[in-house]
Amino acid sequence: MSKHDGHDSGDSAPGDERINAHEAASGARGYTIGLGLALVLTAASFWIASTNMVWAPSVPAAIIVLAVAQMGVHLVFFLHVTTGPDNTNNVIALAFGGLIVLLVIGGSVWIMTHLNHNMQMSADAMKMRMP
């Protein structure tokens, strides 16, 4: 990174590197690190799911944690979504998308849990009520 672009090499987040024609190797380094992290997290997920060394009830939580970490790696190293001043709109769009996903999932779970209250009585239940 050159000093004339307002960023020095120690002042940028992973994925927020400025790349010019002379710095293609350093840009490739960020992608390579991201690829390595993504492969390690994927392998860890498969290992957690297939081993008996992990307490069975904790496997879903471990896979969820690894999935969130995987999303973070992809957002930072491949999509270059960081909290830098140039990426404010990207972070806001990501937060809005996350809010929509949470609302859809939460609404779906709420509807499914209250589904029995709104269903018509079954034929067996109706026969039991008739004298």
d(CA 62, CA 121): 40
- Are 11 and 61 contained in the same domain? yes
pTM of the predicted model as reported, rounded to 2 decimal places:
0.63
- Are 15 and 4 contained in the same domain? yes
Instruction: Report the pLDDT averaged over residues 53-67.
Output: 94
Residues 87-126: tens digit of each pLDDT: 888 888 888 999 999 999 999 999 888 887 666 666 676 6
pLDDT at 45 over 60: yes
Question: What domain range is 91 assigned to?
Answer: 83-131
pLDDT at 2 over 50: no
- Are 76 and 112 contained in the same domain? no
pLDDT at 55 over 80: yes
Residue 103 and residue 35 in contact, taking contact as beta carbons nearer than 8 Å: no
- Are 61 and 118 contained in the same domain? no
d(CA 113, CA 67): 26
- Are 77 and 88 contained in the same domain? no
Both tokens of 120, joined, read 């018509």
- Are 57 and 71 contained in the same domain? yes
- Are 63 and 88 contained in the same domain? no
- Are 75 and 112 contained in the same domain? no
The label of the residue with tokens 């589904």 reads 115
Residue 10 confidence class, pLDDT cut points 50, 70, 90: low
* Nearby residues of 20 by Cβ (< 8 Å), 6 or more positions away: 2, 5
Number of domains in the chain: 2
- Are 70 and 96 contained in the same domain? no
